[in-house]
Structure 1
Amino acid sequence: MIPKLDEYKKRWQLPSDDVIKPGLQRMLQALQQLGQPQQSLQVIHFAGTNGKGSTLTFVEQMAREHGLTVGKFMSPCIVDVHDQIQMNGQPITQAQMDAGFKQMVTAGLQNLLTDFELLTCAALQHFHNEQVDLVLLEAGMGGREDSTNIVMPIVSVIPSIALEHTNFLGTTLAQIAAHKAGIIKQERPVVIGRLPKEAYEVVKAEAQHQNAPFFALGEAFEIDGTTYHHKARQLEIRNLQRRLLGTHQGENMAVAITSFLEAAATLSIAVDIAAIERAVYAAQVAGRFEQVLPHVYFDGAHNPASIAALVQTIQQQFPNEQVEIVLGMLADKDVAQAIQLLATVASKFIFVDFDNPRAMKATQMLEMQAGTIMTLPQAANYLKHDCKTKIVTGSLYLLSELRAL
């Protein structure tokens, strides 16, 4: 369910399927009918469990500080479908989306694609139309069979790997890593964060198979507090200040700097260290420990690994203080583990029902942990008028709906 996508599908009479169907054949056919817009694009491709959006945002800021026009495709949306396709930080307009849909109708894509595949095509067509200098492309799920995996990237980036989407990707870290590693391409550099050993070995083996230059955090490059160090380049950047908080965001920043350095080399861009420093400080992501009111923070953590990082950030930012947790989650996530982790920093739980067919009912969460149940309007009113520190988390869909209220 992608808000406002149906409006375009109806207006242009361009039906697509609202289910998940892994595989690339439909995308390959659609792009051939569109005239292969992806072939004109310089792409950095991102896959992984957590940290894709933050890492991508750091890279985006670096590229823009170096004067590049940057297109990005991310998911899910913050408010509606327009957020997911952006150029230089500005969402695609209705007129631009209509232009893309007109091209897709003319190309005969009716009843060929899923919703996410259709949106991927719209994004690639838009970036081609606008002739952007660099495209930052985030995989929707997995990597190898994800609709975005139809590009030849200049860099592939995998910030993290943890258990997720086990009904599609597999039940072990190695199986999931095999999907993520599918974005690695022949002789194109790959940059990774700190991966669990089981996942690391799979990704490294794929890089070797593809003869892809391999840059791993903790090996090729390091982050020590506010200092970044790239061993092969003998490059050190000190006193990096950022507004994306938490140790994990420092690691995402390091992965992003390395990714940008590799992209800059391919694009023959002279790297400006001062521009990297400015970009790191400027980077902000909606729904990543985002302060939306003086006492309210939104964080889209939705699996045990990202919830653990959120708990660590809460402990760093609010030492010796317990906060209220406003929680809504999709039922296919490890809800019990998420609640168990959050309970270590929570003075109170507020469980919220939100409008998504995959959402777990608040009553089911209440059976796992004592707390209070609220509707979305009740929760929005409570957030605005009660001044205790609150963290809203569990699902980006929940954050999107509360933001609108």
Structure 2
Amino acid sequence: MIPAFDSYKERFNVESSDEIKPGLEAIEQAMEMLGHPELSVPVVHVAGTNGKGSTIAMLEAICRAHDLKTMTFTSPCIEDVHDQIKINNGPLAPFQMDAIFKELKAAGVSGLLTDFELLTAAAFMACKMYKPDIAIIEAGMGGRFDSTNVVRPIVSIIPSIALEHTNFLGDTLAKIAYHKAGILKPNAIAVIGELPQEAFNVVQEEAIKKEVILRVDGEDFEALIGDTYVQGLLEINDLTRNLKGAHQRHNMALAITAFIEIAQKLSRTIHEDLVRQAIARATVAGRFEQLSKNVFLDGAHNPASAASLRKTITDLYPNTPIHIVMGILRDKDVDGVLRELEQVCDDFTFVEVEREQHRLMPAEQLLAHSQATNKHVSGNALEAVLEKRKEPGIVIMTGSLYLLAQWRHTLQEVFRAQ
């Protein structure tokens, strides 16, 4: 379910299904009917397991700092559908979504697409109608057969590859890498994070096949400890990330490298001070996001992102009591996530992700999977956070981006009022 999306479908009598149907046939037909809005502006296409949102946030901030008008399309939403499509980092306004749906209805795409395909079509119509200088598009799932893969990007980015969505993408890194590598396109530079060798081999083979030039983290560029970016003779020092955690240093390097390629394609000059300013202000909701003195949100929903959260906790809060409020979906690697977080926390409160009723894992089942000594179930995530906040240490709500989306605004309001 995409919050607030159905209201537009109902108002404009545009139908779509809530199924997941990997494949490009329907979206390609829709693009033809809409006059190919996906080709209307230069595009950066981003796919990968973790790091997509943070890389996009830093890249978008750098672009805007250099006076480029941006459009981003990301998943899932934080509050509702409007924040999945942003112009200059501002959520799409209802009147803008109205205008887009009028075009979708007039083109006759009703009944042709799934919900995510329809939303993808809406994002591409935003490109056509509001004409950004650069559109940064995040793949929804996988890449090769994801509805966003009708674009012809000037830059492709793959921050990381790990096991995820194994029921759709396959149960090995090589199989998953096959899907992610599908976003590589001829004549587009590909900026690649530090991938497991098994995954990198697949990406490299795809790049050779399509004659794509790879820019690889740790080989062609890097961000040194202390946040100095280096690529060849270019060195940008005194970078200060707003996004915390050692893994964000690598995402920062990807974003800067991608912008270097964008600047070259669009004949723009890179200003180091503007890069510094952008990196210092870039934020992502739900990425070790601090809501109060001792409450954080982090969408660690797979073992790799849980490992990053564990390392961030170890780096920033050693010897500090940690309380985790967690809800996760049953199609995730629940045991893998728990084993990572149990290394830094022995106090868990399990809740349910109410927004995704058809995919939720009951809190009692989560409790049974946990090996923590101090573990509980709560029927209300807000109450659990507020109760744990009274104890020494920090509280982290984690496990599912849908859980964070459900409670983030409410928590913000509670803490503002205090």
Give me the identity figure in percent: 49
Which position in structure 2 is the counterpart of 1:7? 7
Q: Which residue identity is paired with 2:10?
A: K
Q: Which residue identity is paired with 1:362?
A: A
Q: Does 1:239 align with 2:238?
A: yes
Which position in structure 2 is the counterpart of 1:59? 59
Listed as ranges, the gaps of 5+ residues in structure 1 are: none
Which position in structure 2 is the counterpart of 1:395? 400
**Distance (Å, rounded) in 2 between the aligned partners of 1:390 and 1:77:** 23
Where in structure 2 are the equivalents of 1:5-404 lying within 5 Å? Answer: 5-225=5-225, 226-231=227-232, 234-355=233-354, 356=356, 357-369=358-370, 370=372, 371-376=375-380, 377-379=382-384, 381-382=386-387, 388-404=393-409
Q: What displacement does 1:102 show?
A: 0.6
**Distance (Å, rounded) in 2 between the aligned partners of 1:385 and 1:4:** 34
Q: What displacement does 1:64 show?
A: 0.2
Q: Is the 8 A contact 2:70 2:87 kept in 1?
A: yes
Q: What displacement does 1:387 show?
A: 6.2
Q: Is the 8 A contact 1:71 1:136 kept in 2?
A: yes
Q: TM-score, normalised by structure 2?
A: 0.94
Q: Which residue identity is paired with 1:85?
A: I
Q: What displacement does 1:223 show?
A: 1.5
Bigger mean CA deviation after superposition, 320-329 or 247-256: 320-329
Q: For 2:238, what is the secondary structure of its paired residue?
A: coil
Bigger mean CA deviation after superposition, 142-151 or 369-378: 369-378
Which position in structure 1 is the counterpart of 2:413? none
Q: Is the 8 A contact 2:239 2:279 kept in 1?
A: yes
Q: Is the 8 A contact 2:302 2:332 kept in 1?
A: yes
Q: Is the 8 A contact 1:380 1:402 kept in 2?
A: no
Q: What displacement does 1:383 show?
A: 5.9
Bigger mean CA deviation after superposition, 138-147 or 320-329: 320-329
| Closer, same or farther: CA 387–102 of 1 in aligned 2, 3 Å | farther
Q: For 2:384, what is the secondary structure of its paired residue?
A: helix
**Distance (Å, rounded) in 2 between the aligned partners of 1:354 and 1:171:** 25
Q: What displacement does 1:125 show?
A: 0.3
Task: Give the aligned length.
Answer: 403
**Distance (Å, rounded) in 2 between the aligned partners of 1:5 and 1:260:** 32
**Distance (Å, rounded) in 2 between the aligned partners of 1:66 and 1:28:** 33
| Closer, same or farther: CA 218–12 of 1 in aligned 2, 3 Å | same
Q: Is the 8 A contact 2:320 2:393 kept in 1?
A: no
| Closer, same or farther: CA 387–128 of 1 in aligned 2, 3 Å | farther
**Distance (Å, rounded) in 1 between the aligned partners of 2:294 and 2:386:** 14
Listed as ranges, the gaps of 5+ residues in structure 2 are: 411-418
Q: What displacement does 1:386 show?
A: 5.6
Q: Which residue identity is paired with 1:124?
A: F
- Superposed CA deviations along residues 274-301 of structure 1, whole A, max 9, x for unmatched, are 1111111111110000001211000011
- Superposed CA deviations along residues 77-127 of structure 1, whole A, max 9, x for unmatched, are 000010100001110011100110110000001110000000011111012
Q: Is the 8 A contact 2:43 2:152 kept in 1?
A: yes
Q: Which residue identity is paired with 1:268?
A: S
Which position in structure 1 is the counterpart of 2:414? none
